[in-house]
Amino acid sequence: MQETGFITSFNDDEITIRIKDLSNSQRYMITNAVGSQSTMYFDDGRHITVDQRKKIFALFNEIAEYLGYTQVNVEEILKIRFIEQMDNPVWFSFSNCSIEIAKQFLEYEITFCIQNEIPFKTKLMDEIQQSYALRYQLVMHRICFVCGKTHAQLDHADTIGMGRNRRHVNQVGYYAWTLCDKHHISGKHNDGITTFMQKYQVKPIKLTPEMIDKLNLADKGAINQ
């Protein structure tokens, strides 16, 4: 059950909330839930920004064009799928939803594009670089951190050492990203790591045993060295 109420008092660790127009069944449920654990969500008053809305609907158009659906179809399908996986499922509108819901949905939408190999023209790299989950998706699907080009190569931000066979090196904990040929050769190597990161505002992510295994970066047993 989900209801909206007003906080009437707060004392140390006790909060009193007034809820209007409860039905008998709802009153019964609440009475029997006294003492049980509950979750509260607070609305900080910030709503979806113009930039978030523009990016969300631009992606709807691009997904629809790629899949051959209408924008309305794509919006309905993705919105329902997103709501189903929410911890606290609730219907919302892109006209006035919270800034956090908009952020989460945009991340969900970008992930959908990456996982389904749907190219996007909308400039989203600033959104992606702010999210570990999205940078993880770029690495796992070998997409360039700078330009979004596919079939990029994994590149270590950390120095492994000249002459060492990377497949024999325990790479767990090393930082890496995926870069296309252009940004790997003419970008990172010419500019240097620090300048490269500042220039393109990109951040590598730390490799885990799971990532190394899925990407087949090392021989079996290397991560245990």
CA angle 83, 114, 58 (to 5 degrees): 70
Q: Which tens digit of pLDDT belongs to each residue from 105-137? A: 999 999 999 999 998 888 888 889 989 999 999
Looking at residue 163, its pLDDT comes to: 45
Encode pLDDT of 68-97 as tens digits: 999 999 999 999 999 999 988 889 999 999
- pLDDT greater at residue 172 or residue 37: 172
154-186 pLDDT, tens digit per residue, is: 988 876 654 455 666 777 888 999 999 888 876
pLDDT of residue 167: 63
> pTM of the full predicted structure?
0.69
Nearest-CA neighbor of 133 among 120, 157, 115, 121?
115
Instruction: Give the confidence band of 144 by pLDDT, cuts at 50, 70, 90.
Output: very high
